[in-house]
Structure 1
Amino acid sequence: MQQIFKNIKGDRLIWAIVALLAILSFLPVYSAASNLAYRGGGSNTFTFFIKHFVHLLLGFSIMYGVHKIPYRYFRGLSLVMIPIVLVLLTITILQGTTVEGASASRWIQIPFVNMSFQTSTFAAVVLMVYVARYLSKMKDKTITFKSSILPLWMPVFLVLALILPSNFSTTAIIFTMVLVLVFLGGYPVKYLAVILGSGIIALTFFVLVAKTTEGPLRVKVNTWENRIKNYWNGEDTEADYQIEKAKIAIASGKIKGVGPGKSIQKNFLPQSSSDFIFAIIIEEYGLIGGFLIMLLYLWLLFRVVIVAQKADTVFGKLLVLGVGLPIIFQALINMAVAVELFPVTGQTLPLISSGGTSIWMTCLAIGIILSVSARREEIKQQEINEDNPLEILSETI
């Protein structure tokens, strides 16, 4: 065990927070999985428990492997991965998968194994690394709107255009996070207003075109409109079934909760082990459990900011913020949806919800953050050694 801890580098508190979130996920997932087991016919909850354990084990393996890679290598890797991401997203959208008549081309099947992979989640991480790379390269240069269109905004809009038809919420989150990152990276605000306006115009054009056609895209756009209208109007329709069950679960939990595994709404709430697991957590563990989860994410945010502040390069700072902030943002959106502060988005709760791709990509992002903090530790150790010549002599002998 001591040897394992010796090989773990980077911010130890981030390791602890991530491990704690993973451990706390097991009981809610195991409890909520009863709904999936019932719908699945001959399955049982333990099968989903083992599946979740395997996803987390693979995720932590990814995180461990990535945190061993010097973060400067991610600068060049992002250039290589952007074309690969575009190809994967194109393959995904060409599948033409539909659910209840709406476009739902989000996953591709991994060859030789019975597993699917959500390409948009991987694209989000790669894109944020790419944007951090561009901003760090242009840090001491004058950025003009014309010079940034092709190297910065073209890849961003291509990725978003390929994700939008099947997943509006992910597109909106990625676009928002890119805007936040370029603002923090010193991109001129006057150009950001142009980009934001262009994004709104592009979305409006897409919606208008989709509504004039017959097929999955029109159904998808109508779904988006209904969710937003129902949210603002407060109407009780069939589309609000998930929110209503989530609110019942939260109300049932009160302060201390009904107890582990005793949730009633998990049997009626769709996506109870993924999109709406926060409602099940509050039902079983009360507001105390809900606030504990929220505090862990806020603590993670605090550590991400600390690592970014201490990073030794501009690229390191932007890289940490680029891949770290979306994790917290997604978690807050998931929790906001469960308590009806936000329309239904379909976003999972990072490291807690079931689902392999979400766990793996979150662990990939955290591995990158740990790689940056590990470099800071190396520099600090070198400074200590330089201040202690006797220590260097003893290590040489």
Structure 2
Amino acid sequence: MNVKYWLRRLLGHLDPPLVVLLAMLLLISGLLVYSASGGNTDRLLGHVANMAVALTAMLAMSLVPPQRLMQFAVPIYVLGIILLLGVAVAGDVVNGARRWLNLGVTRIQPSELMRLAVPMMLAWYLHSRQETLAGRDFAVAAVLLVIPLAFIVKQPDLGTSLLIAASGAYVLFLGGLSWRVIVAGLVLVAASLPIAWEFLLHDYQRQRVLTMIDPSADPLGTGYHIIQSTIAVGSGGIAGKGWLHGTQTHLDFLPESSTDFIFAVFSEEFGLLGNLLLLLLYSAIIWRGLQLAMNAPSLFGRLLSASIVLTFFTYAFVNMGMVSGILPVVGVPLPLVSYGGTSMLTVLVGFGIVMSVASHKKLVKT
């Protein structure tokens, strides 16, 4: 009896349909990582260990009441800004980018923390102003978004900055930002693109855009990734070549096959039909996540949960777009499929928050 009670207490805040869908995606991830690594058992075991840690964190986060998340929103955001400042002043430079902060016992990448801290902070702020929400409140929220973005763009880390910008933009949009402001903002962004191209983008970032337009201009250099990736995607045909039989992967033509370009591995081995099933699985996860978000009992819960789910969509869209050659390569992994513990931990912690918001119906007003 006590065992059943504690199991209900421990697992009762999980959403069974969403957990099953996430588990299916993780199973696909294990199969792909094993294939992409050439049957490397040690790499697969490391990937499974990352899954275990991330799933445990998701379970733990589902137990945290939303009102507790609200209490932590400001401290976590401020801590993230302090860490980003530390990176700007004394961060480690790796491959020409200053993104890591050495704490002595370990190195951390503070920008990863901001993927959740920014939407949590914006959701808290708009929730606290919901009785008198006005244009100036959205202006303040926009400033809260721009501050960490400025640090991250400076590192430079275009992929992470785009994801954080998207997560913040989703909160502002769902919070009721006027369509006139949104359209004006989009027009302003479009008008500023020539200035950004000339003065803000680094040489390698401009090269990525040019490579997307014409990868054949440098087929053995900057265009190699995209050319080999699109060959792998197209060679899968309708039904694919079969698991463990992808030639682009196993003949080592496809770079970063288990991380950023793992979607190309999937496309080659499972073909168009497999891609359609994978898209259906991603769509089901996003649909279920949005259902839970829309049923949240508070503005904070709805904004935070929906932003997390829509950012998950953005992850998948950007990765599949860059692998297919329709978007520049920005180093965004395929969520819950690519090898990598940090990305998987961030995504599953986010879904833990979504399930927490949905299962804790009573939220203390702050």
TM exceeds 0.5? yes
Partner of 2:162: 172
Residues 214-269 of structure 1, C-alpha deviations (whole Å, 9 max, x = no match): xxxxxx71111111123234643121111111111112221222222222222122
- Given candidates 134, 141, 154, the residue that maps to 2:132 is 141
Are residues 186 and 77 of structure 1, via their aligned partners in 2, closer, same or farther at CA, if it must alter by over 3 Å? same
User: What is the CA–CA distance in structure 2 between the aligned matches of 1:204 and 1:124, rounded to whole Å?
Assistant: 28
Partner of 1:354: 339
Matched to 1:119, the amino acid is: P
1:1-397 aligned at under 5 Å gives the runs 6=8, 7-8=10-11, 9-34=13-38, 45-94=40-89, 95-99=91-95, 103-108=96-101, 112=105, 117-145=108-136, 147-149=137-139, 151-165=140-154, 166-192=156-182, 208=198, 221-233=202-214, 235-237=216-218, 238-266=221-249, 267-376=252-361
Aligned-pair RMSD on alpha carbons? 2.7
Select between 281-290 and 183-192 the one with higher mean Cα deviation: 183-192
**Normalization by structure 1: what TM-score?**
0.81
Q: For structure 2, which runs of at least 5 residues remain unmatched after alignment? A: none
User: What is the CA–CA distance in structure 1 between the aligned matches of 2:5 and 2:254, rounded to whole Å?
Assistant: 44
Matched to 1:184, the amino acid is: L
Residue 62 (structure 1) shift: 0.4
Are residues 186 and 117 of structure 1, via their aligned partners in 2, closer, same or farther at CA, if it must alter by over 3 Å? same
| Count of paired positions | 353
User: What is the CA–CA distance in structure 1 between the aligned matches of 2:94 and 2:63, rounded to whole Å?
Assistant: 40
* 1:256–1:287 Cα contact (<8 Å) kept: yes
Residue 176 (structure 1) shift: 3.0
Residue 107 (structure 1) shift: 3.7
Residues 64-109 of structure 1, C-alpha deviations (whole Å, 9 max, x = no match): 000001112111211010111112223334425142xxx3233445
* 2:237–2:271 Cα contact (<8 Å) kept: yes
Larger-Rg structure = 1
Residue 272 (structure 1) shift: 0.9
1:140 aligned counterpart, secondary structure: helix
Residue 121 (structure 1) shift: 2.5
User: What is the CA–CA distance in structure 1 between the aligned matches of 2:193 and 2:85, rounded to whole Å?
Assistant: 19
Q: For structure 1, which runs of at least 5 residues remain unmatched after alignment? A: 35-43, 211-219, 380-397
* 2:312–2:335 Cα contact (<8 Å) kept: yes
* 1:10–1:372 Cα contact (<8 Å) kept: no
1:106 aligned counterpart, secondary structure: strand
User: What is the CA–CA distance in structure 2 between the aligned matches of 1:367 and 1:64, rounded to whole Å?
Assistant: 6
* 2:215–2:222 Cα contact (<8 Å) kept: no
Are residues 341 and 203 of structure 1, via their aligned partners in 2, closer, same or farther at CA, if it must alter by over 3 Å? closer
Residues 359-394 of structure 1, C-alpha deviations (whole Å, 9 max, x = no match): 110011000001012124x89xxxxxxxxxxxxxxx
Are residues 111 and 246 of structure 1, via their aligned partners in 2, closer, same or farther at CA, if it must alter by over 3 Å? same
User: What is the CA–CA distance in structure 2 between the aligned matches of 1:19 and 1:310, rounded to whole Å?
Assistant: 23
User: What is the CA–CA distance in structure 1 between the aligned matches of 2:72 and 2:331, rounded to whole Å?
Assistant: 29
Percent identity between the two aligned chains: 25
Select between 57-66 and 269-278 the one with higher mean Cα deviation: 269-278
Are residues 200 and 2 of structure 1, via their aligned partners in 2, closer, same or farther at CA, if it must alter by over 3 Å? farther
User: What is the CA–CA distance in structure 2 between the aligned matches of 1:366 and 1:5, rounded to whole Å?
Assistant: 20
Matched to 2:44, the amino acid is: F
* 2:122–2:144 Cα contact (<8 Å) kept: no
